[in-house]
A and B are shown apart, each in its own frame.
Chain A
Amino acid sequence: MSEASLRRTGRIWTSITVAHTLPFVAVSGLLLVLNPVTAAVALMALAQAWIIPELYAARGANVLRSRAPADEQAERVSVGLLGDLLDHGARDLHRATGIVLERGSLGAWLIGEAGAVLVRPGGRRVHCYCVKVPAPELPTGDRVAHLLLALRTDETGFATVANLAFSGARWRLSRRLKAPLRDALAPAVEAARRMD
């Protein structure tokens, strides 16, 4: 996965989303023009056009959801090791949100237990990836540390292995994230803006 292929992926996702929503918008407009009595149906078509990208974004937001924690002692040990890999700011963010912020060459990454969000330079577009260490017995800190170390070792390889769950506007993802995760998105967007 390279800079160019990420841009291409973004364009493809946008095209697919437009292709999915535009027919509903067109049908809605056509119904209103042909017969205003069909306004209710036209509104339903418009709602459908709105819902489709929202569902995609919800799938993207899901990559940062947390799993059930392991036993308390293992969790403490794993979070301690993860903390040793982070600077103060990233450690504080992880403590508050469970998410690690990592700046890479492709953008700013938010790393969760089973996925990552790449905020592209400029902060307007995000790519959400499903990626994990296939070892459910690991405590949460270790699951994040696995992804963090893999990302640091080979960022483009990381983005290649991961499955893309969503690519689109940052604001659309932000609306679908729960409060603590939305708090993690803000500094990532800030970091991505500084890369532009």
Chain B
Amino acid sequence: MSQLIRMDSSGHTTLAEWTADDPASVEAAVAALRAELELGYFAVVSHGEGRAEQVRELPVDAPLVILRRPIAGG
């Protein structure tokens, strides 16, 4: 089961869960991802140390997609 999560004040919130062979769950995850991207979040799939990929579309095969906010210089 793949997850779309958003880092927030609670630690994180699971926005959608899907499996590749369940089109309805994928569709719901795609909609949830689009809504968050429109709010200004970045979607990231981490591939271990030193590597992560920012995505604009739901990577259906990814086990975990994390939504983060933009960073800024302090």
Contact = CB atoms under 8 A, between A and B. Distances in A.
Interface residues of B, number: 27
A3 to B, nearest CB: 16
Contacts of B51: 152
A79 to B, nearest CB: 8
Contacts of B69: 133-135, 146
Contacts of B47: 152
Interface string A121-158: 00000000111111101110110011101101110001
A181 to B, nearest CB: 17
Contacts of B68: 133, 145-146, 149-150
Contact of B71 (A78, A80, A147): A147
Interface in A143-195: 145-147, 149-150, 152-154, 158, 161-163
- The size class of the interface chain A forms with chain B is 35 or more
B50 A138 contact: no
Contacts of B64: 84
Contacts of B50: 102-105, 152
Contacts, number: 101
Nearest to B10: A74
Contact of A139 (B5, B9, B71): B9
Contact of B73 (A85, A130, A137): A130
Nearest to B48: A87
Interface string B58-74: 00000010101111111
B56 interface: no
B12 A146 contact: no
A131 B72 contact: yes
A149 B72 contact: no
B39 interface: no
A146 B10 contact: no
A81 B72 contact: no
Contact of B66 (A63, A75, A149, A154): A149
Contact of A77 (B12, B46, B49, B53): B12
Closest 5 CB pairs of A and B: A77-B11, A130-B74, A152-B52, A163-B73, A78-B11
